[in-house]
Structure formats: structure tokens, C-alpha cells
Chains A and B, each alone.
Chain A
Amino acid sequence: MFSGHLLSVLIWLPILGGFAVLAVGNDSPSTARWASLLVSIATFAASVPLYTEFDPHTAAMQFVERAAWIPSVNAHFALGIDGIAMPLILLTTFTTVLVVIAGWGSVHKRVAQYFGAFLILEGAMIGVFCALDALLFYVFWEVMLIPMFIIIGVWGGPRRVYATIKFFLYTFLGSLLMLVALIYLHLKSGSYDLGDFQRLPLSLTAQTMIFLAFFAAFAVKVPMWPVHTWLPDAHVEAPTGGSVILAAIMLKMGGYGFLRLSLPIAPDASRELSWLIIALSLIAVVYIGFVALAQKDMKKLIAYSSIAHMGFVTLGAFVGYKIFAHTGSQTGIGMALDGSMVQMISHGLISGALFLCVGVMYDRVHSRDIDAYGGVVNTMPIFASFMVLFALANAGLPGTSGFVGEFLVILASFKGNVWYAFFAAVTLILGAAYTLWLVKRVIFGPIANDKVAALKDVDGREFLVLGLLAVAVLLVGLWPAPLLDAMHASTQHLTQQLLVSKLVP
């Protein structure tokens, strides 16, 4: 029906659906809930053909659409996906369904607006992943901030104003610099087409400036050390659904940006500055791993854990330059990029699941403090099984998705420098330490207090959400081949792109 416009549908269906839900108003929350569920499921269903009809043998953009948008500046409404964007879009549509179901019973304030915001956010995020036009990319990038800003600001915790402003300023300042870089590239190339940007020869100085401008935008989103401190605050104040989307999808924008913009547009600067990214990534793994150990708030702990895990994404994205420099061969670069991508998908599933787990407990006890819990397994055995599974996945257990990306990145990093692998592998110890210590204090032990004693195990709705995520986590862990096959052509293509110098002769 919509053949040829599938990506447009995926963007506009949730956005228009979101506005429709807003129009329903807060007076009939039930209608708003059902309508949102319908829209999110429809969007997910519509996104499935992206995988089933995806051609994994080409790195070229697929499902391409292109229409004139702002002719005066030669900007187009150009969409398309490759093996890097496709899995992230599926992750987005999948996660949004779960967030809608999860918010079903736990949100009672301004219900229509809550769900509407998430649907609009979904459309904008999909837009980021499939925009092929830099201006369009930027518009979606910024539009995405607004619903999230509102979600944290309206449904958030007590310090939500501080958190939203910090979140907004951090990300907005970063993206302004990106806009400057995009305009510069437009002036140089006369187009806003990302493909033209990628083909545009640039001097090393220009590339470096562009790289740093992109870096400001993407490093904040990932987030990389030391521009990460907005994330724990935002997570702590955000409602459960907000945390899930933030962790599962929005952080991926940074990783995606590095892969889609930084590496292909400024490959030489990326090579020159790869040491910086690698260093910051390893600091994220080690330093943040220790910081996570010290957290007393469950959401903060998971937030810090996210930062550490996202370190693998950036490490995998940039370690390829060192592999090439060290071995003189490109073998291993693709593995690092594969690992980086799988880590993004996996982290989306696992961190989303962990935030949902915290949400399940928070809905009952209204506390995020680790000290407020203890012995939850006694009263919530089914929930505890899920939580332990996701915790183990977070610790990178083989057989779960958490292992695949980290394993590939560590294997590949060794080819760059044994010390990269050494510091990256520290996550095996630290990741297990902070995650299992959390489980020990929250889940196991005797019943700690009356609130824990009064806990009811998960209901059918919560079971469904956690169960779907558990299946996804295990599926990716036990059989990651389909995911990697879909990405293979694109990561190989990216390998070529990042190795070919585009310096002005």
C-alpha cells in the first residue's frame, strides 16, 4: 500500500498518531491508552518489512525516498536506510511498544499527553535514523529533544527542572556546533545530501574542525566521559518510560552519528583523533565502572552502567584506525564496527529492561534507593528471575546479547593494541561487580522491610513487557548471526570509507 514510502509512513504514523492521541485529551485516559497502543503496534508492524525485505548484500541505501523540501537551499526530504540504521529503527519501534504497555498502569497524570509525547518522539527518532539529508537530520535531531524535555519536565521526579535544563543545555549546545559544521559542509558542497558530504574532499584542518563540532554533539549524546554528567541526573528524574527511551534509543543517536557522519565525512580527522576517542572510551569503561560501584540509587547505577557500556560503542567505532596502523591490514576493523553496532542494539534491550525493572519496583515502593529494598525475591520470584537475567546480561554473560558486542570489540581491539583490550576487558570484572552487587542488595537476602513484604509479583502486563525483552536478549545472544548478516555489507562499506583519505590534494 505504501510501497516506496515505507520510511515516511514510519515517521509520520507515530507523529500524527501522537497528535491524535493528544487530541483525545486527558479526559478519557482509556481511549488514549488504546489509541497509543494501536499506533505503536501499527508502527512496529510497519517496520517489520524493513528487515524482511532488506537486501543484506548491498551497502547502498534502501527504501529510498527523495522529495524536494526547501528548494532555495537545495534541501530534500530524503530518506533511506542501510544495515546500520535498520536495526536501530526496529529497536525504536519495538521499544516504543513496550514503553506504551509499561506506561499503561503506571501513569495517571495527563495520560494522553504522556503517550502522545512518546509517539511523537518515536517518529522523530526514526527520522534521525533514516534522514539522508543533513538539514532534515538536524531538524529531527532537535525535534527529538522537545518531547523528551517535556517527558522529564512534566512526569519527572522532584529535581526534574534541574535535570531537564542540564539535559537540554548539554545536548543543545552540542548540536548547535553540529549545525555550524553542517552549514559549512553545505556551503562547500552546495547540497545537504549526506552522500555528497561523504564524497566531499576536505583539508585536514577543515575535517578536524568538523570532527570536533560533530564530536560535541555526539559525545554528549552517547554520552562520553567527561560530558556524561547530565545522564544520571536525567535518568533519575525521568519517569520510567522516559528512562527507557533515553537509554535504549537516544543514547544510540550519538553512536549512530559517529558512524554515519563523523567517520565517513571526516575520515582523516577521525584517524588523527582516534586516540582521543579511544582514550575517552576506555576511561568510560574503567572510571565509570568504578563510579557505578559507588551508587546508592538504582537508576543512577544503571545510568552509569550505560555510560560504561556505551564506551564499547565508541571504542569499536574508532579502534579500526589503530588496527590498520598496527597491522597494516583492514582485518578486524569490520569486527570492531560489528561489535559497536551489536553493542548498541544489545544495550538498548538490556538497559531498557533494567529501567523497566526499576520502574516495576518503583511503582510499588516509590523509592529508587537500593537501601529501601532487600529480599525482593521472597515476594516477587518471577520478577526476580527477570531481574537476575537482565543483570547477568548487563554483566555480559555469553548467551545473552550483552556478551556479543563486548566480545567482538575486545577481540578486535586486541589487534589495535593489547592495552585497549586489557582496559576494555576490565568491564568483565567491574560490570559484574556493580551489577551483581546491586542484585545482591535488592533481590536477595531476607525481606528487608514491610514494604518489601507487601510486594505483589508482576502482573500480566509487566510480565509481557519483561518477557518480550527477555526473549529478545536471549535471541540476540544465542543467535546473533541474522543481525550481523544484515549489517555486514554496511560495516564493510564503512570500513572502506574510513580508510580512504579524502584530503584535498
Chain B
Amino acid sequence: MESIYLTIVLAPLVAAILAGIGGRAIGRVGAQSVTILGVATSFALSALVLKRMVFDGAPSFDGSVYTWLVSDGVTMQVGFLIDHLSALMMVVVTFVSLMVHIYTIGYMRDDPGYQRFFSYISLFTFSMLMLVMANNFMQLFFGWEAVGVVSYLLIGFWYTRPTANFASMKAFLVNRVGDFGFVLGIAAVLYYSGSLDYSTVFAHAQAIAAARLQITPTISWSAISFTCICLFIGAMGKSAQMPLHVWLPDSMEGPTPISALIHAATMVTAGIFMVARMSPLFELSNTALSTVLVIGATTAFFMGLLGVVANDIKRVIAYSTLSQLGYMTAALGASAYASAIFHLMTHAFFKALLFLAAGSVIIAMHHEQDMRKMGGLRKYLPITYWTFLIGSLALIGFPGTAGFFSKDALIDAVGRSHLPGAGYATVCLTAGAFVTALYTFRMFFMTFHGEERMDHHTREHLHESPWVVTLPLVLLAIPSAVVGWFTIRPLLFGGFFAGAIQVAPTHDVLGAMASEFHGPGAFLLGAIAGLPVWLAVAGVACAWLFFLKRPQLADAAERRFHGLYRILVAKYGFDWFNENVLAAGARRLGGGLWRFGDQDLIDGVMVDGSARTVGWFSSVLRTVQSGYLYHYAFAMILGLASLLMWLLWRT
């Protein structure tokens, strides 16, 4: 059994190495073939693993591959934990990755870095699999950082663009702020449980819950809250939760396929996955759960609003991703881990679809991403249009789509939580349904309907993308449309994650919902009457009115609420603050410490100063060496006197 898992992980790695190092030798076709073969192998085997576990009842697997190191009695291993949670993640990751691989053939066709790109996305697949399949914190952190590095390399893929280089560095550094917390969390885990293996750590969860962490001699914090919040800071970086969200919109500088794969479907959900994986720890700290809940809900609502004013089609989807990640995070905070993972899965499908479809639009538009220069693309890009529509409907939670089941259940679950902040979260998430529909259909109408605002040259060359681009769209549109019907019952109410995810009885909102669940059809009928669906419909209507029917209304609103509009366009000022206060401050601090600390104080006063002192001393010595006997005699007497006095004083 273990060799299957090894193959799943290693196939993309080997492919990445072949395409990366041997890229010139095997050529473009060779690189695309070998990487697609690698990831297809992973997908097929992952699907097999999932099938065996779900349908054949195969037990979960927890075993090590090799010992990374042993230090001071602590064994750190590279190993796999394959249960329903990781198996589901593996399928989602490899499926989206496979789609993106195929899509890339069309999207990157004319790019000189073709082989390099394939190598990177295969390397990413390997890293992400290492992350989700880990059975210990060390390997989790390895995968965590490895996906971060590939993300860094891919955002900066077009390395001659200064904006791309800036964005890639920004992404890495903001993630590192999260990792700073993550590492402290891991250190706390080791301190309190003596191990980094999940199974041992979870077995010690109660001990951590009982412990206090001494912050100062007089202040002590609950160890479990400290640990969980530190781990969650890591998740905030990777899953782009406020205030560590700032890197994700800029990451759109990367090629569109990786926006779909990394910055929508998989890597950014690593934080969600991680918290779900750590449920045995988070369940023990209401403080941490409340924090997660409030931060998630805030991100969900306020980042969604930014999507309404963005004009770059990829940025709208990026803000949408932030917002949806906020939904998932809020669900984690409400202990509805299964609901978060369910939404993670449906979101992976429909958001990857939206990004890839947007990429198809971008190819057709000759790499124009500004929606103000689009419009009326429906008749030129029929397949893209219909798949984009399916993705949009899923995103806004239109009844029946995959996103509807996951999001509606999610909002319901959060609404049932009794943790501090649950009321605020419910308001944010419910209102977010309106905002989601508004920005989604604003984008949809601006892109595909209305007047054609592109220049003449572009319009003449508009045509549907090749099949390698549209096939993945269709293959992603299918699960985006229907997967919710089949999966809501097992994932949310069927104990699918039993053993992988633990929920305390007092927190079990999904358990409460289960008693009212009578199949997806009844769920659908029940939800149609609910507020989120009506808000979504209202959002679509508003988008239609403001951005298609009467665009002047949008302009009027912009003038009327100018202050609000400015705040949104400035993205609440996070970027300004980070660049002008944090980054500039760090550079200025570094320069100041260098000049005043190193050069003036240490070198100027102490080093060169002592050199000068030696010089002064020797000049004194020179004058003392006068050659006059009485000077020497006087000095000798003086010295003898001091010596005697010193001896007297000592005794």
C-alpha cells in the first residue's frame, strides 16, 4: 500500500526534475508529456486510494517513509497519514493540477519558459501532496514552505517584469510573517507533547489544554490557545486572511494557470486544511476558535467588497478567492470543519474554472485584463461563456450548484455556533452572499455582455480558445455544477471525516443540522426560502441594473459615496501601510542601525577609538621616555607607591 502513496508523491517530482533539468533535451512536447503523465498518474492513484477508502472501507494509513533526523530523543520522520481528509484533498489537488497542466499547453504556447513552467507546476503538485499527506508537523512545514517557494517562483515567472518580481517577493515575505507564527506554534507543540507526529500530539492534546505558558513572570497564557493561535497565524499567511491577505491580489502577476491552481484551488486552501487537520487541538480552545471565526468572517465580507471596485478581471476573482477563503475560515472557527472542507472542494472546482475561463478571455483579448475594455464577448467565446456562467452561479451559491450546497450549509452552520463572535460572523457571511453575487455578475456582465469596448484590432482577432483550453473548462464545469448533490450528505452529515476531524459535542453545529437534513432535494427546497439565496438573487439583479442596464447609475453611486469608494479603491490602506510604514520602516531602521550602531558607535568610538587611545597612550609613553633619570626615578617611586597602596587596600 505504501508504494502507491510514494508513487503519488514522486511521480510529479520526477516529472518536474525531468522537465526542469532536462527541459532543453526533451523539448516542449517532452516536457508537457512527462509532467502530464506524472500528474495523471498521481490523480489516478489518488482516486483509487479514495475509492478504496470510501467504498471498500480500507482503513486509514499512518506510516513513515524515512527518518529525517533523530535529535535528543525526538524522531522526525517523513511519513504519510492517509485518511478520508487527506485522500479527498489528494484527489482535489491532483485533479485540478491535471486540468491546469492540460490547459497550460494552450495558455503558455508561445512562452519561451514553457518547460520551466511545466516543471514548476509539477513541483508544486509534489509539494502540495507532501503537505496534505504529511503525518507530522515537520513534513507539514516542509510542504508548507515548498508550496510557498513554488508560488514565489511562479508569481515571478515573467521575471523581466518589475511588478511580478515585487509581487513574488511580497507574497513570500507576507507568508513568512505567517510562518513566523507557525514555527512558534510547532515549537509549542513539541514543548508540550514531546513529539511532532500528529498521532502523538493529538493524544497529548488534553495535557496541552491543561498547561499554562509563562509569558512574563506575572502573566501566563493558556498553552492551547497560544499554540492554536500561533498555528492559525501560519494559516492566515497561506490562506490570505486579514491582515496577511495583501499578497494574494498581487499574486495575479503570475500566469493565469497558476492563479487557478495555486492561488485559488489548492495552495491557499492549505491553511484551511491545516486547521481542519488540527481540529483535536483547536477544539480545546474557544479563544482560538473565536479568533478564527471573527478573522474569517471579516475577511469574507470586507475582501468581497473590494471585488466590486476592481476592474482587472483576475483581481476580481482574486478578491473573490479572499472572500471565499474567509467563508471557509469562519466555518473552521464555528467548528464546522467538514463544512469548510466541503466548501474548499467545491471552491477548488468552480474557482479554478473561473480563473481558467478568465484566462481563456485573456488569451482572446491578447493579454488585456481590464474589464472596461471588454464586453459582449459572449458571441465570440461560447464555450468560455457558458462555463464561466456555471462557475459564476456556483460562486454565488445559485440553488442546485455545488457552491450553493457548500456555502448555504456553511452559513447555516456558522449561524448555529454559540462562540463569541458568531453573531457578527453570521451577519458578515450572510451579507457577503449579496456582495459575492454583485461582484461576480458585475464581472460577468462587463466581460460577456453589453457593448464591445475593445479596440478594432482586438475585436477582429477574437475567437474561441483551442480545445486544450476549453476541455479543462468543461471538465471543471461538470463538478462545479453537480458535485454538491452527491457529496453534501456524506461529507457533512455522513461521518465521512470521522477519525480525521474531531468536534467537541458542545461545538457540534453540523451534528445539530444533521437531524434536520433530509437529502439534498429537501435541503434545496428549504434553502430557497432562506436569506442567502435571496440576497444572491438581489446581488445579481443589482449587478444587472448597475453595470449592464444603467451603467450611469454605477457612476452616480460612485460619486454619491465617494468616500467609501476611495477607501475601497485604496484597499483599506493595507498596502500603503505595509509599504510606507513596515517595509520602509524596516529599511530605515536597518540603515540607521548600520550607520549609528555599527559605523559610528562600534567602529567609530570603540574600535577606531581604541586605536586612537592606543595612539594617545603611546604618545604619552614617548614623552615619558624622556631620557632624564629623575623622570624614571619619579615614575618608579610612583609605581612602587601605587603597588604598595594596592596591596594595603587588598588586605
- Do most interface residues of chain A lie in helix, strand or loop, or is the interface mixed? helix
Kindly state the separation between the CA atoms of A367 and B149 in the bound complex, as whole angstroms.
29
Q: Which of B67, B72, B597, B598 contacts A331 (CB 8 A)?
A: B72
- Do the beta carbons of A440 and B186 come within 8 Å of each other? no
- Do the beta carbons of B603 and A229 come within 8 Å of each other? yes
Cβ of B180 within 8 Å of any chain A Cβ, yes or no, is: yes
Which residues of chain A are within 8 angstroms of B173 by Cβ–Cβ distance? 429, 432-433, 436
Kindly state the separation between the CA atoms of A166 and B607 in the bound complex, as whole angstroms.
9
Tell me the A307-357 residues at the B interface (CB within 8 Å): 331-335, 338-339
Q: Which of A392, A404, A428, A440 contacts B149 (CB 8 A)?
A: A392
- Do the beta carbons of A414 and B68 come within 8 Å of each other? no
- Do the beta carbons of B169 and A410 come within 8 Å of each other? no
- Do the beta carbons of B160 and A446 come within 8 Å of each other? yes
- Chain B 410-430: CB-based contact to A (< 8 A → 1; otherwise 0): 000000000000000000000
- Min Cβ gap B125→A in Å is 16
- Do the beta carbons of B169 and A436 come within 8 Å of each other? yes
- Do the beta carbons of A421 and B70 come within 8 Å of each other? no
- Do the beta carbons of A421 and B594 come within 8 Å of each other? no
- Min Cβ gap A19→B in Å is 35
Given A445-B165, A481-B67: A415 in contact with B594 (beta carbons within 8 A): no
- Do the beta carbons of A414 and B74 come within 8 Å of each other? no
Which residues of chain A are within 8 angstroms of B183 by Cβ–Cβ distance? 407, 410, 421, 425, 428
Cβ of B159 within 8 Å of any chain A Cβ, yes or no, is: yes
Kindly state the separation between the CA atoms of A88 and B594 in the bound complex, as whole angstroms.
31
Which residues of chain A are within 8 angstroms of B162 by Cβ–Cβ distance? 445-446
Q: Which of B180, B194, B213, B593 contacts A429 (CB 8 A)?
A: B180
User: Number of contact residues on A: which range applies?
Assistant: 35 or more
Given A294-B590, A397-B145, A415-B191: A480 in contact with B165 (beta carbons within 8 A): no
Cβ of A222 within 8 Å of any chain B Cβ, yes or no, is: no
Kindly state the separation between the CA atoms of A170 and B183 in the bound complex, as whole angstroms.
36
Which residues of chain A are within 8 angstroms of B67 by Cβ–Cβ distance? 481
- Do the beta carbons of A290 and B590 come within 8 Å of each other? yes
Q: Which residue of A lies closest to B166 (CB)?
A: A440
Which residues of chain B are within 8 angstroms of A170 by Cβ–Cβ distance? 607
Which residues of chain B are within 8 angstroms of A440 by Cβ–Cβ distance? 165-166, 168-169
Q: Which of A397, A398, A429, A484 contacts B71 (CB 8 A)?
A: A484
Cβ of B117 within 8 Å of any chain A Cβ, yes or no, is: no
- Do the beta carbons of B68 and A479 come within 8 Å of each other? yes
Number of B residues, CB within 8 Å of A: 57
Cβ of B73 within 8 Å of any chain A Cβ, yes or no, is: yes
Given A287-B593, A290-B586, A398-B145: A335 in contact with B71 (beta carbons within 8 A): yes
Which residues of chain B are within 8 angstroms of A375 by Cβ–Cβ distance? 159-160
Tell me the A386-420 residues at the B interface (CB within 8 Å): 388, 392, 397-399, 403-404, 407-408, 410-415, 418
Tell me the B558-591 residues at the A interface (CB within 8 Å): 586-587, 589-591
Kindly state the separation between the CA atoms of A398 and B149 in the bound complex, as whole angstroms.
10
Kindly state the separation between the CA atoms of A200 and B508 in the bound complex, as whole angstroms.
64
Kindly state the separation between the CA atoms of A491 and B611 in the bound complex, as whole angstroms.
40
Given A444-B159, A446-B160: A421 in contact with B184 (beta carbons within 8 A): yes
- Do the beta carbons of B190 and A481 come within 8 Å of each other? no
Q: Which of B145, B172, B191, B597 contacts A291 (CB 8 A)?
A: B597
Q: Which of B69, B153, B168, B607 contacts A404 (CB 8 A)?
A: B69
Given A292-B590, A410-B187: A398 in contact with B142 (beta carbons within 8 A): yes
Which residues of chain A are within 8 angstroms of B464 by Cβ–Cβ distance? none
- Min Cβ gap B254→A in Å is 13
- Do the beta carbons of B72 and A333 come within 8 Å of each other? yes
- Min Cβ gap B650→A in Å is 15
Q: Which residue of B lies closest to A375 (CB)?
A: B160
Q: Which of A398, A413, A480 contacts B146 (CB 8 A)?
A: A398
Which residues of chain B are within 8 angstroms of A377 by Cβ–Cβ distance? 159
Which residues of chain B are within 8 angstroms of A432 by Cβ–Cβ distance? 172-173, 176
Select the residue from B70, B144, B177, B214 with max chain A CB neighbours within 10 A. B70
- Do the beta carbons of B74 and A397 come within 8 Å of each other? no
- Do the beta carbons of B184 and A332 come within 8 Å of each other? no
Which residues of chain A are within 8 angstroms of B186 by Cβ–Cβ distance? 411
Which residues of chain B are within 8 angstroms of A362 by Cβ–Cβ distance? none
Given A404-B69, A428-B180, A436-B173: A294 in contact with B591 (beta carbons within 8 A): yes
- Min Cβ gap A192→B in Å is 31
- Min Cβ gap B421→A in Å is 26
Q: Which residue of B lies closest to A431 (CB)?
A: B176
Select the residue from B156, B162, B215, B589 with max chain A CB neighbours within 10 A. B156
Cβ of A271 within 8 Å of any chain B Cβ, yes or no, is: no
Kindly state the separation between the CA atoms of A425 and B233 in the bound complex, as whole angstroms.
14
- Min Cβ gap A256→B in Å is 19
Which residues of chain B are within 8 angstroms of A491 by Cβ–Cβ distance? 72
Kindly state the separation between the CA atoms of A166 and B71 in the bound complex, as whole angstroms.
39
- Do the beta carbons of B66 and A291 come within 8 Å of each other? no
- Do the beta carbons of A335 and B602 come within 8 Å of each other? no
Which residues of chain A are within 8 angstroms of B66 by Cβ–Cβ distance? 479, 481
Q: Which residue of B lies closest to A385 (CB)?
A: B20
Which residues of chain A are within 8 angstroms of B586 by Cβ–Cβ distance? 290, 293, 433
- Do the beta carbons of A480 and B69 come within 8 Å of each other? yes
Tell me the B61-81 residues at the A interface (CB within 8 Å): 66-74
- Min Cβ gap B461→A in Å is 27
- Min Cβ gap A115→B in Å is 32
- Min Cβ gap A270→B in Å is 19
- Do the beta carbons of B184 and A425 come within 8 Å of each other? yes
Kindly state the separation between the CA atoms of A412 and B196 in the bound complex, as whole angstroms.
13
Which residues of chain A are within 8 angstroms of B188 by Cβ–Cβ distance? 414, 418
Tell me the B177-231 residues at the A interface (CB within 8 Å): 177, 179-180, 183-184, 186-188, 190-191, 194, 213-215
Which residues of chain A are within 8 angstroms of B152 by Cβ–Cβ distance? 436
Cβ of A226 within 8 Å of any chain B Cβ, yes or no, is: yes
- Min Cβ gap B190→A in Å is 5
Cβ of A180 within 8 Å of any chain B Cβ, yes or no, is: no
Kindly state the separation between the CA atoms of A229 and B172 in the bound complex, as whole angstroms.
30
Kindly state the separation between the CA atoms of A484 and B591 in the bound complex, as whole angstroms.
38
- Do the beta carbons of B180 and A426 come within 8 Å of each other? yes
Cβ of A437 within 8 Å of any chain B Cβ, yes or no, is: yes
- Min Cβ gap B348→A in Å is 25
- Min Cβ gap A446→B in Å is 5
- Do the beta carbons of A414 and B190 come within 8 Å of each other? yes
Cβ of B386 within 8 Å of any chain A Cβ, yes or no, is: no
Cβ of A272 within 8 Å of any chain B Cβ, yes or no, is: no
Cβ of B606 within 8 Å of any chain A Cβ, yes or no, is: yes
- Chain B 68-104: CB-based contact to A (< 8 A → 1; otherwise 0): 1111111000000000000000000000000000000
- Residues of B bordering A, CB below 8 Å: 66-74, 138, 141-142, 144-146, 149, 152-153, 156, 159-160, 162, 165-166, 168-169, 172-173, 176-177, 179-180, 183-184, 186-188, 190-191, 194, 213-215, 586-587, 589-591, 593-594, 597-598, 602-603, 606-607, 611
- Residues of A bordering B, CB below 8 Å: 166, 169-170, 226, 229-230, 287, 290-295, 331-335, 338-339, 375, 377-378, 388, 392, 397-399, 403-404, 407-408, 410-415, 418, 421-422, 425-426, 428-429, 432-433, 436-437, 440, 443-446, 478-481, 484-485, 488, 491-492
The 9 closest A-B pairs by CB, nearest first: A334-B72, A414-B187, A294-B590, A293-B590, A290-B590, A335-B72, A294-B591, A398-B142, A444-B159
Can you identify 8 A-B contacts, CB atoms within 8 angstroms? Answer: A287-B593, A294-B593, A411-B186, A418-B188, A421-B183, A429-B176, A479-B68, A481-B70
Kindly list 16 other residue pairs between chains A and B, CB separation below 8 angstroms, not including A294-B594, A412-B72, A428-B179. A226-B606, A292-B590, A293-B587, A294-B590, A331-B72, A398-B141, A404-B69, A410-B183, A413-B187, A414-B188, A421-B187, A432-B173, A433-B173, A436-B173, A440-B165, A444-B156
